[in-house]
Amino acid sequence: MQRDHYQRLENLVMINLTFLHNPFTTERDSGDFIIQRKYPNGDLVLVGDIGGHGQRGFEDVKSAIDQVVSQQPAQLNLKTLVLELCALEELQTHGLVLFAGFFDDDLPVLHYIHVGDVKAHQIQFGDPVELPHQNGMLVLNPIPTLKEFSLKIRDSSRFIFSSDGVRTVAGTQKPPNWHGPATDLCKYMIDNLTDRSDDALAVVCDYRYSPIRTPDRSAVVEASPEPVIEKRQPNQKQADSSKGTRAPVVQQPVSETKAEHRIPAAILDLPSDSDKLLSASEMLNARLGLRVLFRSLGFSNIEQNRWCVFYLEVREQVDRHFNLYLTNTHLITTIRGDRSIAETLAPLRSSSRFSFSEAEQLIQLEHRLPRAINDMDLARQDLIDLVKLGTDTQTLESIKEEQSRERVLAEQAKLASMGEMIGSIAHQWRQPLNELALQAQNLQLDFYEDLLNEERLGNYVADVLNIVKYMSNTIDDFRNFLKSDNTTEDASIRDIVDQVINLQQAQLESNEVEVHLEGDGLTVNCMPSEFKQVLMILVNNAKDALQGRDSARKLSVRIEGTALSIIDNAGGMPSDVMARATEPYFTTKTSGKGTGLGLYIAKQIVEDKLDSEFTLDNAVLEDEPGLAVRINFNPRLVRSEHK
Amino acid sequence: MRSKVFRISTEADVQIVLNGIHHFCVTAGGGETVVQECSTIGSELAYNLVKYAPGGSLSISIDGSNRLLLRSEDSGAGLESGAITCMQEGYTSGSSLGLGLPSIVRLSDDFRMENSCSGTIISAWKILS
């Protein structure tokens, strides 16, 4: 069965089902059934046999099964389907054996659940091969664990399904041409493989799969053929429609549009209540909103007027709400309505592509834009902004420029801190890597000295694996650190400080920096990962500043009241440097060492994200001059403070 | 050696497994492409075991038709959303790209999966060339 043409053509998958049913008595009294359904992402095929041979009432059971299948959601779950079938009251005295298979459209895969003695065989190259399945009978002889199988299948595969009235397909004495015409094969199975004392159903399913290139998912897919509505001839008078002779409207499938392309009604100052007629002022507002939109899209003045008139007449004449969608190349209007509405509107917009779907009761107009939006260098969102802000393209561009500069700065800061992170990882790995090298050498030495036995080898392996585990844990630690979350939570400042110091431990020790932590009890509502970034920057800065120092290098992190201070004894900052310290790209570090973004970003985060105070001051730590960076948390964010 | 089994419980085990797969494929006479593809399949299977199951086992062997078989087995809760949904590109029940299972299907010459609430078994075959 072929996919409907107007749906997205990603892969061309075809399932051809041929079947022959030979009931023991009548079709009505036969428990065998076959159901096929089309889904957005594939095809469902059910072949089943309702238990209770010789009983009556199969019609009701089949009808109930059909209903359950019809009620499945677009996102099918085979297990849910089968469990819902098992819950059917009609099946409680009958039982059911079933093959429920789903041929996936996007991948060459068959998913299926197969319980009981319905037979399923796959023919690829030679003889039929039975598919894995589970024995039992649904409802009456239930299996403890329902299994779902998935199977990669080849293009031009063939499947044979049959009820238990058909004896085993494989290994027959006079095998047919398994790859021959499907009808012949079905006939062969019914004529030669049934014992005539039971209902028999033989199904041949031919599968074709040919993947083609996936089109751009964000594009609107064009409706296929040209609309059949006759375009009004230039010399035909408008009076035609008033005489009652309407242009013929023929049903056409409509293009697929997505919600995110939709221009919000508020942009156009149009009331979204579809039943309400526009008042005079609303019409005026709508006209203005529409004009701004069309002007931005590059419509000429005449076109702007025409479109405004059209939309307002849609509201007036047919009392219809409409939706506008925008893609890179088209303006698409959809209007809910029946055939008579379509016939009324069709003559009004002869320069657009007009289509109508009876099934969906949807009228659609597609108007090609004078210029593609990406030619105008405006993304769709920009266009919405443009209309919203009521501004011109130049002003909008400078706003966008400013925003993108901030983004670039944030990115660079992220890269900078990632760079530092990688430095820390490298530092923490140096020692274990040395260990690994040592173990390898010792192993070799033992071998040459004939000392290597199973026990020693086991010890070496255990040691090496331990080291590898440690190194892997380092990655996890840093990765957790880098994971960004956008949720705020009540976080203990001391805990965050401890984590950051822990991560930096190796580097601080190798730089002989003495760290002193003081205070606790301060809990603040913040984004912990953002605040960790601030602390990393400040601790790194202190560590770098202390490197030049010959005598004791000290770093003190203090929590007092609602404030956190980071103080070093690196000599402090001259006033001219302090004035510029939080400027982006300003750094006193030697070239290659500092990006000049650290303090800028730290200040931004504290002031913008935490709405708190960030100050730099020269201070004294244990009688030695240094720098104090203080973060005074906004009281409304403080949940508990250090006493 | 015709088969090898690895137990996987943490991410640290994955690299060991990948090295093992690489070595096995090369020893079995697999060409460069086959080795690379097996490593990719093995990587996807191994990471799935770590991320979504309480660990499991991954084995590599050569079957009777001289094909490499990579098989992962776990006793987790299975694919709760069902195989159809989990095979969709971009679908993930975690925070990954959601390209794992479809990639394994595409890369392997043959693929089978058995999914139930008592675990998942995935078998992927590659023809040695």
pLDDT tens, A47-86? 999 987 656 678 888 999 999 999 999 889 999 999 999 9
| A-B contacts at Cβ under 8 angstroms | 84
Would you give the DSSP letter of residue A403?
H
Chain A residues whose CB is inside 8 A of the B87 CB are 104, 106-107, 109, 111, 150
Chain-chain contact of B10 with A41 (C-beta, under 8 angstroms): no
Q: Are strands A262-263 and A322-326 parallel, antiparallel or unpaired?
A: antiparallel
Instruction: Say how far apart CA A184 and CA A162 lie, in whole Å.
Output: 15
Nearest residue in chain B measured CA to CA from A133: B114
Instruction: Say how far apart CA A301 and CA A309 lie, in whole Å.
Output: 12
Chain B residues whose CB is inside 8 A of the A465 CB are 12, 16
Instruction: Say how far apart CA A566 and CA A351 lie, in whole Å.
Output: 70
A111: nearest CB among B16, B84, B106: B84
Give the number of residues written for chain A. 643
**A440 vs chain B: nearest CA distance in angstroms?**
16
Q: Which of B9, B69, B106, B115 to mutate to test the interface with A (most CBs of A within 10 A)?
A: B115
Is there a contact between A220 and A332 (Cβ–Cβ < 8 Å)? yes
Low-confidence spans in chain A with pLDDT less than 70: 1-13, 53-56, 170-173, 210-292, 315-321, 326-328, 347-351, 372-397, 399-400, 403, 406-407, 409-418, 420-421, 424, 427-428, 474, 476-486, 584-585, 590-597
Nearest residue in chain A measured CA to CA from B79: A148
Is there a contact between A84 and A64 (Cβ–Cβ < 8 Å)? no
Q: Which residues of A touch B (CB under 8 A)?
A: 41-42, 75-80, 102, 104, 106-109, 111, 132, 145-152, 465, 468-469, 472-473, 475-476
Would you give the DSSP letter of residue A251?
B
Q: Which of B84, B108, B111 to mutate to test the interface with A (most CBs of A within 10 A)?
A: B84
> Six-digit token pair at A435?
């260990």
Sheet with A129-130: strands ordered across: A11-22, A200-211, A157-162, A119-123, A129-130
**B22 vs chain A: nearest CA distance in angstroms?**
19
pLDDT at A94: 85
B82: nearest CB among A79, A106, A152: A79
B118: nearest CB among A145, A469, A473: A145
Is there a contact between A113 and A175 (Cβ–Cβ < 8 Å)? no
Chain-chain contact of A148 with B81 (C-beta, under 8 angstroms): no
pLDDT at A362: 81
Chain B residues whose CB is inside 8 A of the A102 CB are 84
Is B80 part of the contact surface with chain A (CB cutoff 8 Å)? Answer: no
Is there a contact between A235 and A211 (Cβ–Cβ < 8 Å)? no
Chain-chain contact of B88 with A132 (C-beta, under 8 angstroms): no
Sheet with A362-368: strands ordered across: A262-263, A322-326, A330-336, A362-368, A353-357
Chain-chain contact of A469 with B115 (C-beta, under 8 angstroms): no
pLDDT at A483: 60
pLDDT at A631: 95
Is B102 part of the contact surface with chain A (CB cutoff 8 Å)? Answer: yes
**Facing residues of B121 across strands?**
B73, B114
pLDDT at A430: 76
> Six-digit token pair at A355?
């289509």
Chain-chain contact of B105 with A472 (C-beta, under 8 angstroms): no
What's the ipTM?
A: 0.93
pLDDT in tens, A326-347: 666 777 788 888 888 877 777 6
Instruction: Say how far apart CA A587 and CA A580 lie, in whole Å.
Output: 9
Is there a contact between B104 and B45 (Cβ–Cβ < 8 Å)? yes
**B72 vs chain A: nearest CA distance in angstroms?**
14
Is B66 part of the contact surface with chain A (CB cutoff 8 Å)? Answer: no
Is there a contact between A546 and A555 (Cβ–Cβ < 8 Å)? yes
Q: Measured over all CA atoms, what is the biggest interatomic distance in chain A, rounded to whole angstroms?
A: 111
Nearest residue in chain B measured CA to CA from A468: B12
Q: Is A574 helix (H, G, I), strand (E, B) or coil?
A: coil
Q: From residue A549, how far is each of A20, A545, A572, A590 by CA, in Å? A: 92, 8, 12, 16
pLDDT at A98: 95
Q: Which of A10, A45, A109, A482 to mutate to test the interface with B (most CBs of B within 10 A)?
A: A109
Of the pLDDT bands very low, low, confident and very high (cuts 50, 70, 90), residue B50 is confident
pLDDT at A1: 28
**B7 vs chain A: nearest CA distance in angstroms?**
14
Q: Which of A37, A76, A111 to mutate to test the interface with B (most CBs of B within 10 A)?
A: A111
Torsions phi, psi of B34, nearest 5? -60, -45
State mean pLDDT over B17-41.
Answer: 87
Is there a contact between A252 and A228 (Cβ–Cβ < 8 Å)? yes
Question: CA A183, A184, A187: angle at the middle one, nearest 5?
Answer: 85
Would you give the DSSP letter of residue A622?
T
Sign of the CA dihedral running A148, A152, A155, A161? negative
Is B82 part of the contact surface with chain A (CB cutoff 8 Å)? Answer: yes
Is there a contact between A336 and A315 (Cβ–Cβ < 8 Å)? no
pLDDT at A239: 35
Chain-chain contact of B88 with A145 (C-beta, under 8 angstroms): no
User: Which B residues in the span 17-36 are in contact with A, Cβ-Cβ below 8 Å?
Assistant: none
Q: How many CB atoms lie within 10 A of CB A210?
A: 11
Q: How many CB atoms lie within 10 A of CB A484?
A: 10
Taking phi over 0 as left and psi of -120 to 50 as alpha, with beta for the rest, A571 belongs to left
Chain-chain contact of B82 with A80 (C-beta, under 8 angstroms): yes
**B71 vs chain A: nearest CA distance in angstroms?**
14
Please count the helices (runs of H) and the strands (runs of E) in chain B.
4, 5
Chain-chain contact of A145 with B117 (C-beta, under 8 angstroms): yes
Nearest residue in chain A measured CA to CA from B113: A150
Q: How many CB atoms lie within 10 A of CB B84?
A: 24
Nearest residue in chain A measured CA to CA from B114: A149
Chain-chain contact of A107 with B87 (C-beta, under 8 angstroms): yes
Instruction: Say how far apart CA A595 and CA A597 lie, in whole Å.
Output: 5
Instruction: Say how far apart CA A105 and CA A11 lie, in whole Å.
Output: 6
Chain-chain contact of B85 with A77 (C-beta, under 8 angstroms): yes
Share of residues in chain A with pLDDT > 70 (%)? 70
Chain B residues whose CB is inside 8 A of the A107 CB are 87, 102, 105-106
**Amino acid in position A639:** R
